[in-house]
Structure 1
């Protein structure tokens, strides 16, 4: 993965235009050279590898120019992508427009699943650790040699005694899924659209190689503005994983938030 010295980004000839996103641990700023810089303690430079892989297969992602440390914090510099966040424009869309967006996202996921894995490891695209973003915290570990080890790490971190019902669910979790390229957070706020087309998929910091059902269960894990979004899961995913979803949601209720 490319790394830039701390002084390289400040010397670029550009003027700050606006702050696009600001929250604890992450700041995204747009500049006059049609790039954005994403920086902060919550930024994961492994995102660069995921974006570069997605770009190789024609997926709608911003081009990355630099990644490394800036003022002691990780950063990425990438293209600015024109478009509105899907969660903002979704309520004003017609049923036909919503269906079109879902079909486009379905094509994206199909392409992602067709990308051959370089190794059998479960983790980031750069060969680093797996990341599972929950509602209030984030679990990390690995990379893992197989799904059984991955499941043990992400589902056995409990507080107190494991109830018998959860033990039963754990015993039924499969460990023979295909390992595929996954975004890990296909929330509406990470999808940019313009003129009825998806122009960008952003925030690939939790992307990597995961069991084939991972994208589906994480789709239901993340909260959003529009409650009907989850109702379109069958339009977005070629395959649904009801059993895996039920086990996942039942188990994580007993884990730390």
Structure 2
């Protein structure tokens, strides 16, 4: 499967079985019994029993070549979602230095009560196909993009208030570095803060900044003021990533893989400048910028002061800069030998996320251990 399109990550190998990547089989067994090697089990809305297990060579006996399952949703060339057994199977391209979304979801779930995140049934990284897999419970409602035309102005503002509440909860968690939420050694991944993508980096792989401290980052961001304390933030609070009910209640926020510690001003600046926050034009949507300005205004009223003009000047200055180690070295001494002459501030304590082994199937179907995530590490 290495090298195949992301939409070919789920293959039906038998009438009641689907292979997820190269490692795992999702099987429908009706009323039972369940194979003793089951990793986890659940029942769908009709009471049918489903389970996950490790794959074996005999799984292709019905459909030797497999049948590609049709994705429920596709996200460019780097991600896709399937629906199996009432659960969502989310597959994303993965590479070294990228934090699996499951790590961030676990951190938010445990550290930020009140933030509605999807519930994870199982997760793993498939090292053979360089993809991460998440099995997620469905959320009640529909994405805000689709619900928006039917919401009254009062309910639209109610949604903005709830998302601002989430931003306030997250922002209470701070760090002295700008970087990933799940791994303090990794930098932030936000295209609006990064230089242009080098041609050597494939389109599916996000580019990221180095880990930034105030002492080594202000010159790069100037005149955008990053400060000395960074706030936990979900930088993709777009109408496609928010799930709401018909009465405007937010039941879930999606796509946490880019969450991290950002400058406080970025929390209210990002909604103003990112096209992803725009609504789709159509009946009931006279202003495609309404979600942008409602959220940005509400955040500013909560004390998150934007720096849009400063960001535009910063962006104009770095436009055309390629994100290579050579170009970064000008701004980030930590990437050069000069780093030894700088005093690096202490890294604050962050919640521990335990390392767990991955499970890889060899040719005879026996598991061998690698460094990544084990489907046995299931949490709710």
SS of structure 2 residue aligned to 1:130: coil
- Distance (whole Å) between structure 2 residues aligned to residue 176 and residue 134 of structure 1: 18
In structure 2, which of residues 212, 225, 232 is the aligned counterpart of residue 181 of structure 1? 232
Match of 1:241 in 2: 305
Q: What is the root-mean-square deviation in Å for CA atoms of aligned residues?
A: 2.9
Say if 2:177 is the partner of 1:121. yes
Could you tell me which runs of 5 or more consecutive residues in structure 2 were left unpaired when the two chains were aligned.
1-19, 29-49, 51-68, 198-205, 280-287, 322-380
The residue correspondences of 1:101-180 to structure 2 (distance < 5 A) are 101-115=159-173, 117=174, 120-125=176-181, 126-127=183-184, 128-134=186-192, 139-144=207-212, 146-153=213-220, 155=221, 170=222, 172-180=223-231
Contact 2:230/2:264 (<8 A) preserved: yes
SS of structure 2 residue aligned to 1:199: strand
TM-score by length of 2: 0.54
Say if 2:110 is the partner of 1:53. no
Contact 1:112/1:182 (<8 A) preserved: yes
Question: C-alpha displacement at 1:69, in angstroms?
Answer: 2.1
Change (3 A) 1:62 1:210: same
Question: C-alpha displacement at 1:17, in angstroms?
Answer: 8.1
SS of structure 2 residue aligned to 1:131: coil
Say if 2:87 is the partner of 1:34. yes
Say if 2:154 is the partner of 1:87. no
Match of 1:227 in 2: 289
If asked which structure has higher relative contact order (CA below 8 Å, sep 6+), I would say 1
Match of 2:129 in 1: 72
Could you tell me which runs of 5 or more consecutive residues in structure 1 were left unpaired when the two chains were aligned.
156-169
